[in-house]
Amino acid sequence: MMKCLKITFSGDLPEGFLRDFVLKHARSLSLEGIAQAMPDATVRIMVCGSKDSVDLFLDVLHKGQGKAIPENIEIEPFVKDRDFRGVFRVIE
């Protein structure tokens, strides 16, 4: 069963966090979607995949990496309305 989530968070995140942490884990779980740093210093992730993979991705995201721990995480389901072409990418 496909699960899609829109995840928004903030935090004191190091340069490269999206590419080095988020992208790596999303691709290792065969997820599709996008991650983007927003002008208001939040990060927005739209992710789709199997329920188990999306849930595992959320667990990894909540734990963060070292001192880079996302804060104020907001999660909401969404209906996939665009084609991510089966890949996860970071939009810069």
How far apart are the C-alpha atoms of 11 and 56, rounded to whole Å?
20
pTM of the predicted structure, to 2 decimals: 0.91
User: What domains appear along the chain, each with residue ranges and CATH number?
Assistant: 2-83 (3.30.70.100)
pLDDT tens digit string along 32-75? 999 999 999 899 999 999 999 999 999 999 998 888 889 999 99
Of 86, 81, 8, 19, which Cα lies nearest the Cα of 49?
86
